[in-house]
Structure 1
Amino acid sequence: MLCLGSGLARAQVCVTDDTDRQVCLGQPASRIIALSPGATELLFAAGAGEQVVGAVSFSDYPPAAEKLPRVGSYKRLDLEAVLALKPDLIVAWRSGNPMEQVERLQAMGVPVYHSEPRRFDNISTTLERLAVLAGTEAVGQGAADALRSGMDSLRQRYAEAEPVTVFYQVWEEPLMTVNNEHLISEAIQICGGVNVFGELASLAPKISREAVLAKDPEVIIAGGMGEDDPSWLEPWKQFSSLRAVQQNNLFFVAPSTLQRPTPQMLAGTRTLCSHLDTVRARD
């Protein structure tokens, strides 16, 4: 979307972010800082990788992102490091970043795009918007279309699938899951799964092992501390009364493919759907 700057005849580059704020730049951004690993991935996927000059810790995908200067963690920013990189756009994580620090950057005149995709179509929309801000519309549109097409295919494939009750473990200590407002829950739903904690109020609620035992899900799916670390599943094996344990329905999905709101979630959702197919075949 284009708008005209007040008092000037030159066109600005404008989009609306996930807080319904309009973000306008005088020209496409050339020095972008990403304040979450997910934002880093989204910018690269939107074709703006060459314009990204800084990122927070754990921004490890694609591999080129590992070489970027660090500006702190998503929980605590190094404002001096941010300002030293002279950004003309910051992409913030609305529910993850310390908002008092982000607001200080905005008060200093740095344009901030607040990202908070809650559904897969929001990821596609974010790719399109970031591409507009970076002047890489063709790449961003292609990535957005590919994600929409892939998710639509999965929705059609599993539209009539037999429901499977699912507990998704997003963290170990404290034990945490997701509710139905979370993107991971949409992935579960697309695959024909039913999130047993979907009705909880918090986006990522803390729960007890007793609560999981009471729900008795057909399958337990976990992320982990690493891309190939299914150790969070081991403690569940002691609970022989659980249906998921009795049928060996304990599965791992690499966290980067389901726990970041990026195009990688298409691969993660495919893996999740495959695991639920295995559960159905064992019934």
Structure 2
Amino acid sequence: MANNKTKPAGWKIRRLIFLYFLLGAGFVHADMVMDHTGRKVRVPDDPVRVVSLAPSITEIVYSLNCEQRLVGATQYSDYPAEAGNLPSVGSYVYLDLEKIVSLKPDLCIAIKDGNPLRIIRRLEEMNIAVYAVNPRDLDSVMKTISDIGKILGTEQRAGEVVSDMDQRMAAVSKKVDSVSHRPGVFFEIGVDPIVSAGSNTFINELIQKAGGCNLAGGHPGYPRYSVEDVLALAPEIIIVTSMDRQKVFDRVLQQWQQWEELPAVADDRIHLVDSNLYDRPSPRLVKGLEELARLLHPQLFDSDGDRAR
């Protein structure tokens, strides 16, 4: 007679763990390194099967010319475009443990803010190395790139990426340091409700480095605002960012245009930007900085958008 008993919960994970070790997963030659959370991690000398646990990490690995090592990535790993073809291991907040294990990685690169600690611990229990990064500002993004370069054995390329970022940031600073007026900027990252980016965010740092004043900078994190709150702030520039790009922008533009007393409306300075250039801790943050500087201080740039006057 057939056995119709329901298998106990978690049997798939136990089976994957057994197969993982049966197939000889794990590593013999490894270095003990300290990750960005203070954990000691035994990282393989030459990891060849890497799973990225955040879109920003996927971008960094591609920037290091190590994309051939990626065997999986999270949802929204969409840059460069070919990254979208990688097997998905769920979102970086809701990781698919079974899928990750099935890819037989010798290294997972995680991000402290977002990846669930429970999944990280389960991976470690299976002898899968998990190196966590914690980028909090532009300097720590560059450190993240350097450290990932070290564990992947591509220090030279990482140095080139960091040097390029550093030079481009310095070029922006040289252009905007002389400005006598820093326009008030309201950076709208949420529409309903209205949400902006306060202090201790990448967006706040980018606004400051681009020669602007973040009108939400007096609050930590991501504060909410009413329409009346924004009107009282009287922003000179409104920046709108959303993953649902043009559809959202058209609606937001119509919403603000009815308030003709807003300086941003009167001067036609409401702009749409790609959210990934401003909130994803990858090398492309510098591209966001350059774009923002041009939007805030167009008089400093030639028509090609690249050279200072």
Q: 1:176 aligns with which of 184, 195, 198?
A: 195
Hey, what does 1:34 align to over in structure 2?
52
- Are the aligned partners of 1:57 and 1:70 in contact in 2 as well (CA < 8 Å)? yes
Hey, what does 1:103 align to over in structure 2?
121
Aligned-pair distance for 1:128? 0.9
Hey, what does 1:153 align to over in structure 2?
171
Report the CA distance shift for 1:209/1:238 in structure 2 as closer, same or farther (over 3 A): same
Q: 2:236 aligns with which of 218, 230, 237?
A: 218
Over alpha carbons, which structure has the higher Rg?
Answer: 2
Hey, what does 1:4 align to over in structure 2?
none
1:74-95 per-residue CA deviation (whole Å, 9 max, x = no partner) reads 2211110011011121122222
Hey, what does 1:272 align to over in structure 2?
292
1:129-278 aligned at under 5 Å gives the runs 129-161=147-179, 162-201=181-220, 203-226=221-244, 230-231=249-250, 232-278=252-298
Q: SS of 1:38's equivalent? A: helix
Hey, what does 2:91 align to over in structure 1?
73
Hey, what does 2:21 align to over in structure 1?
none
What is the TM-score when the length of structure 2 is the normalising length?
0.81
Unaligned runs of 5+ in 2: 1-27, 302-309
Distance 1:119 1:43 in 2: 19
- What do you get for the CA RMSD once the two structures are aligned? 2.2
What is the identity percentage for the equivalent residue pairs of Structure 1 and Structure 2?
31
Distance 1:15 1:235 in 2: 51
Aligned-pair distance for 1:134? 1.0
Distance 2:259 2:114 in 1: 34
Hey, what does 2:7 align to over in structure 1?
none
Unaligned runs of 5+ in 1: 1-9
Distance 1:22 1:155 in 2: 37
Report the CA distance shift for 1:247/1:264 in structure 2 as closer, same or farther (over 3 A): same
1:53 aligns with 2:76: no
Hey, what does 1:88 align to over in structure 2?
106
Q: Which amino acid aligns with 2:141?
A: I
- Are the aligned partners of 1:47 and 1:131 in contact in 2 as well (CA < 8 Å)? no
- Are the aligned partners of 1:120 and 1:183 in contact in 2 as well (CA < 8 Å)? yes
Distance 1:144 1:85 in 2: 30
Hey, what does 1:7 align to over in structure 2?
none
Q: Which amino acid aligns with 1:258?
A: Y
Distance 1:177 1:16 in 2: 34
Aligned-pair distance for 1:170? 1.6
Aligned-pair distance for 1:279? 8.5
Aligned-pair distance for 1:151? 0.9
Aligned-pair distance for 1:270? 0.9
Hey, what does 1:120 align to over in structure 2?
138
Q: Which amino acid aligns with 1:224?
A: S
- Are the aligned partners of 2:243 and 2:274 in contact in 1 as well (CA < 8 Å)? no
Aligned-pair distance for 1:12? 4.3
- Are the aligned partners of 2:177 and 2:211 in contact in 1 as well (CA < 8 Å)? yes
Matched positions, count: 271
Aligned-pair distance for 1:104? 2.5
What is the TM-score when the length of structure 1 is the normalising length?
0.88
Distance 2:125 2:296 in 1: 48
Report the CA distance shift for 1:239/1:267 in structure 2 as closer, same or farther (over 3 A): same
